[in-house]
Amino acid sequence: MSSQAYVKRTTVTKIRARKGKDPIICLTAYSTPMARLLDPHVDLLLVGDSLGMVLYGMETTLGVTLAHMIMHGQAVSRGARQALVVVDMPFGTYEESPEVAFRNGSRVIRETGCMAVKIEGGARMAKTIAFLVERGVPVMAHVGLLPQSVHTKGGYRVVGRDRADWPPIEADAQAVAEAGAFAVVLEGMAAPLAARITKQVAIPTIGIGASNQCDGQILVTEDMLGMTERVPSFVKIYADLEAGITEAAKSYANDVRARAFPSASHAYAMKNGPRLVSK
Ligand code: KIV
């Protein structure tokens, strides 16, 4: 056995069994070092297609490709020891048919070592979810505000603020649960609707901008670390890394200008010589 203590991995069945129990803690991760830091504190790490905006400066998630998700999925899998790793299926890689979704979803699992994929969409994706789950690809569903539908919806709009809008959203959550998803993300949803759906469906709901009534919560890690420019109002900022990084970069620049860095302790000496060369 390796010198590292053996840590039991969270599985989709363990997440599924947490319905109505202690809150499920989830965050996004896109890289090995971030996965390593977050892993001891979370149940689930999502390699979200939000990486298109957070890492690559895209305006929406629509430009994210399967290649992006596979590269970042591999990186996160290398850093996660105990958390369940879920990878987002990017726009255009699963909507066409259950067969296309299976081809791409099974590739993501095979090539990244993740345990499940996430797909956006409710009732319209139910057949695909059932097809994937029956063939060994666990699925986390995603209903409510769907970032990949930004253009058809005319923007990022919170759903369920009007009671008349509730029935199709409730039907979406019910459909993905019945199709076999092990959990469902509720994004950008009025709190009373999120609470109602959480009571109605048999699988855990994971909220993002959907109140504390969900079975779990997820945030984009860089948002809650204060590293992104536009932070949605539902995000609580737990650290101001932007200020920390700015200060560090300024200090480094000042030190280099003043030749205070590298100092003797950061330099390589000759075998029998001084560490620094005097000018
Ligand atoms: O892409 C993402 O990071 C997500 C979460 C915000 C749920 O889908």
- Mean pLDDT in consecutive groups of 10 residues from the start of the chain, 279 residues: 72 98 98 98 98 97 98 98 98 98 98 98 98 98 97 95 98 98 98 98 98 98 95 96 97 98 92 66
> Within this chain, do residues 106 and 213 fall inside the same structural domain, yes or no?
yes
In a domain, 271, yes or no: yes
What's the domain range around 20? 12-239
Known catalytic residue at 242:
no
The rounded Å distance from CA 136 to ligand 1 centre is: 23
* Whole-number pLDDT of residue 230: 87
Do residues 40 and 175 share a domain? yes
Q: Looking at the structure, do residues 108 and 118 belong to the same domain, yes or no?
A: yes
- With a 6 A CB cut-off, is 205 part of the ligand 1 pocket? no
Segments in the chain forming alpha helices (H): 12-16, 32-38, 51-54, 66-79, 98-112, 126-134, 150-153, 166-179, 191-200, 221-224, 241-257
Cβ count near 167 (within 10 Å):
9
Same domain, 152 and 270: no
- Please report the pLDDT score of residue 263 as a whole number: 94
Based on the fold, state whether residues 205 and 261 are members of the same structural domain: no
Q: Which of 220, 230, 235 to mutate to test the pocket of ligand 1 (most atoms within 8 A of CB)?
A: 220
Q: Are residues 232 and 245 in the same domain?
A: no
- Regarding whether 151 and 221 lie in a shared domain, the answer is yes
**What are 79's two structure tokens?**
């850093």
The pLDDT assigned to 270 comes to 87
Atom 3, ligand 1: which residue's CA is nearest?
Answer: 48
Would you state the pLDDT for residue 7?
80
The pTM score is 0.95
Q: Report DSSP state, residue 65.
A: -
How far, in Å, is the centroid of ligand 1 from the Cα of 62? 13
Residues 230 and 260 in one domain: no
Beta strands 116-120 and 139-144 are parallel
138 and 192 together in one domain: yes
Question: Counting Cβ atoms within 10 Å, is residue 8 exposed (0-12), middle (13-18) or buried (19+)?
Answer: exposed
DSSP at 64: -
Give the number of domains in the chain: 2
Domain check: are 139 and 267 in the same one?
no
